[in-house]
């Protein structure tokens, strides 16, 4: 009788330890996944801020450089495309991330072309509204860089946790997958050629 009680106590203790380990691992995966989702929302927030500034910037430039319609239309179209690419934060995949980055890089390129056009118009460059919008846009671009880095840091923490033992055993069972990072656009390591 005593032996059976000891065996039952040992079995219950082992089950309790296994349950505690399993519960802790699962809850940590959920917590880290939610941190990635939260950080992704912040990335989208700063990209939205940039998208919200663009119509004001385009309207200000339009008042001075009406003959530059092609560039202005390019910026508006790139903004529309960039804001139409949305990623479900619970399903961030490599393909989704590439589509998002491609749309955002298209907008960045269009804004760069707009800034080159601005150089032709000294009155525009001295306009207070334009200078303020340009300053806000520069600040927003810096925020984008910071938030992308924070997203990559949060994602690295999440991915590292999933790949460690014993989490790797549970991750696949419960649908936790490694998340992609923001990466530099191919060719960005080459300095742009500036000609006057």
pTM of the model: 0.77
The residue extents of the domains of the chain are: 37-173
pLDDT the model gives residue 186 = 63
How far is it, in rounded angstroms, from Cα 107 to Cα 59? Answer: 16
Assigned architecture for domain 37-173 = Up-down Bundle (1.20)
CA-based nearest residue to 46, from 180, 136, 116: 136
Contact 170, 22 (CB under 8 A): yes
Residues with pLDDT less than 50, the chain: 188-189, 191-196
pLDDT the model gives residue 192 = 45
How far is it, in rounded angstroms, from Cα 13 to Cα 6? Answer: 10
Contact 133, 53 (CB under 8 A): yes
pLDDT the model gives residue 21 = 83
pLDDT the model gives residue 196 = 31
């Amino acid at each position: 009788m005593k032996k059976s009680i000891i065996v039952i106590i040992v079995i219950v203790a082992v089950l309790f330890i296994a349950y505690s380990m399993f519960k802790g691992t699962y809850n940590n995966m959920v917590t880290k996944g939610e941190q990635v989702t939260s950080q992704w929302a912040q990335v989208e927030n700063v990209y939205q801020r940039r998208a919200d500034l663009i119509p004001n910037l385009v309207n200000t430039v339009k008042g001075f450089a009406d003959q530059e319609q092609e560039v202005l239309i390019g910026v508006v179209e790139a903004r529309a495309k960039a804001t139409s690419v949305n990623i479900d934060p619970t399903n961030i995949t490599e393909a989704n991330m590439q589509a998002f980055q491609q749309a955002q890089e298209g907008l960045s390129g269009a804004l760069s072309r707009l800034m080159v056009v601005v150089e032709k118009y000294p009155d525009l460059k001295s306009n207070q509204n334009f200078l303020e919008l340009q300053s806000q846009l520069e600040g927003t671009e810096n925020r984008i860089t910071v938030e992308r880095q924070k997203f990559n840091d949060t994602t690295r923490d999440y991915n590292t946790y999933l790949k460690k033992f014993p989490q790797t055993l549970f991750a696949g069972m419960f649908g936790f997958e490694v998340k992609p990072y923001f990466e530099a656009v191919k060719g960005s390591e080459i300095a742009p050629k500036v000609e006057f």
